[in-house]
Chain A
Amino acid sequence: MLKYIIKRILQAVPLLLLITLICFTLINLAPYDAIDSITTPDMSKAEIEAKRETYGLNDPLIVQYGRWVVNILKGDFGYSLLSHTSIKYDLKIRIPATIKLVLPSYLTAYLLSIVLGLVAGSHKNKWPDKLIDGFCSVGISMPTFWFAMIVMYFFGYKFRLFPLMGMHTIGLEDSFADFMKHFIMPYVVLTVGFLPDLTRYVRGSTIGQLKEDYVIVQQAFGAKRTEILFKHVGKNVLIPLITKLGMALPMLVAGAVITETIFSWPGIGSYFVKAISAMDYPIVMSILVLSGTLVILGNLLSDVLYCLTDPRIKTMK
């Protein structure tokens, strides 16, 4: 097992390097000059040149890339071009904020989808299925930000139940009640965003599982419908769903870009969008590397989980 994991990680390294190389090249090809964000219009040409030199922007691309990779490996993500703060420090604050939002939402959606999917799949083409599946089709077609705006309008402006922005009221950083007030709207929006896809997935595999022989055997033995569904079918539906859990790991970075932006949640997503619009490329690159790493780790995790939960698969050896 350990050998397999190590092998997989080693295979992933070139992929990750390739991703960073592509992104690095792309950013350097972009019709913007990184120096513009450091300098002010009243600086003289010599001053700008000096700045270029100190930031190492005159070196050949490959040298810049090499230096950057080595620094990342040392845990140094560099500095923001715009605010000159350490990216590592920023990430340390922003990653927990995103996790606080994404993890509960995803888990809620995950658990809800199992129940809804099993119910829909077992009542195929009857009214519970039509209701749940209809909700899913609409949910998939609905842009998250539109739903967020509707929620904001009703609960933020009209009924004034919840604050519209941020994670804490200034001065109340330690209050849990205050956090919950800020948390509830983005949480609901994100949960609704995750839900339709997962539910459809569960529904599909439930329908597939119900055609299997073991279900007929259980029926022949006179097992109850609910018992078959939750005890036997449920178990088999869970296996592919566990792989989904691993695949969801990168969501911790990119899962809430839009939701975070609209609610001004101080997480990775809004950090990324701000960096993109300011062309703050060290930040963009760090987030790229981060999500690339998470994708690879997530795939690995899902493979390992799959093998652990399904004894029929023995590809590990």
Chain B
Amino acid sequence: MKKRNRRLENVVYEFKHNKQAIFAAIYLCVIICVSIFVVFVNIDPDAIDVVHKLEFPSGAHWFGTDDMGRDYFIRVLYGGRVSLLVGVLAMVTSITIGVTVGMMSGYFGGIVDNLLMRLVDVFSSIPWIIMVTVFGLLFKRGLFSIIIVIGLFSWMGIARLVRSEVLSAKEREYVQYARFIGRHPARVMTGHVLPSIFPTIITAATAEIASAIMMESALSFLGIGVAAPMSSWGSLLQGSQQYLQKAPYMAVLPGILIILTVYSFNKLGDVLRVFVEPKITAGEKNE
């Protein structure tokens, strides 16, 4: 019990003494709240107003208007909903697959392990951008398919990580006892192994959201991601590319929001890592 407290203390210490981490946490809270509550703002993101198209930022339109006269600021906020949603759900997909594969692989070992790890090899041997685009052809374009496709191609790292954690968790006395008294493997895994590797999963999950958001924006930018009328930060950037000369302000806001969001999720992951790997990071603050 004492050890556990020490770990938490480390995380709290890291949080208090790391300005970037505080910034990341506050920023994420704000952007998530804004994304949730933006629906209550009384501006329609799809209201077309051709008279005021491609207008520069002003009091009426904080970030100007796009090529159809829609208020760009509100569109970016709505785009954030899609980007964050894809990020979180793709993370859930890839964590689910990764943890399942990693647990089975580590727990059963032998031929199961061998087969599953070869599968991981196959999946990680093709550059993701090629794999994802090819796989994307299989599904009709839409939010759901993007989430699935991103999730399907980002679980390999998590599977490897979980497998190695399970390998060591398997050797603990309480797990061995549970196996000895004949508990069903599924119950041992969910009841005893899973809780012990939970911190690792949380840390990986935060980083996973960041990379899913990046992947989504890249896909949308290439025109194979989120399709109109829905828009995400990536597809907004794709749209703004056409008007780069006339309306450069359109490229600024979505890009900065992507950077800040991805940065914050990564930072959060770094802070949480202190909890998972106290040995590696505990030394850092003393120097």
Q: Can you name the residue of chain A whose Cβ is closest to the Cβ of B121? A: A15
The bracket for how many chain A residues form the interface is 35 or more
Q: Is A31 an interface residue (CB 8 A)?
A: yes
Which residues of chain A from 274 to 317 have any CB-CB distance to chain B below 8 Å in the complex? 276-277, 279, 284, 287-288, 291-292, 295-296
Q: Can you name the residue of chain B whose Cβ is closest to the Cβ of A287? A: B130
Picked from A141, A262, A276, the residue with its CB within 8 Å of the CB of B266 is: A141
Which residues of chain A from 135 to 152 have any CB-CB distance to chain B below 8 Å in the complex? 137-138, 140-146, 149-150, 152
A279, B133: Cα distance in complex, Å: 11
Q: Is A80 an interface residue (CB 8 A)?
A: no
If A18-B122, A145-B218, A288-B130 touch, whether A140 touches B266 (CB-CB below 8 Å) is: yes
If A153-B244, A254-B129, A279-B137 touch, whether A125 touches B284 (CB-CB below 8 Å) is: yes
Contacts of A261 in B (CB 8 A): 222
Q: Can you name the residue of chain B whose Cβ is closest to the Cβ of A157? A: B245
Q: Is A272 an interface residue (CB 8 A)?
A: yes
| Nearest chain A CB to B235 CB, angstrom units | 12
Contacts of A146 in B (CB 8 A): 237, 251, 254-255, 258-259
Q: Is A127 an interface residue (CB 8 A)?
A: no
Which residues of chain A from 106 to 155 have any CB-CB distance to chain B below 8 Å in the complex? 124-125, 137-138, 140-146, 149-150, 152-153
A250, B137: Cα distance in complex, Å: 22
The bracket for how many chain B residues form the interface is 35 or more
Stretch from A19-27, A177-185, A221-229, A235-243 forming part of the interface with B: A19-27
Q: Mark B258-271, 1 if CB is under 8 A from A, else 0.
A: 11111100110000
| Nearest chain A CB to B87 CB, angstrom units | 13
Give B contacts to A, CB under 8 Å.
20, 118, 121-122, 125-127, 129-130, 133-135, 137-138, 140, 210, 214, 217-218, 221-224, 234, 237, 240-241, 244-245, 248, 251, 254-255, 258-263, 266-267, 284, 287
Extra inter-chain contacts (19) besides given A18-B122, A253-B127, CB under 8 Å: A140-B262, A141-B210, A141-B258, A141-B262, A141-B266, A145-B218, A145-B221, A146-B237, A149-B237, A149-B251, A153-B244, A153-B248, A157-B244, A250-B127, A257-B130, A258-B218, A272-B130, A273-B133, A276-B137
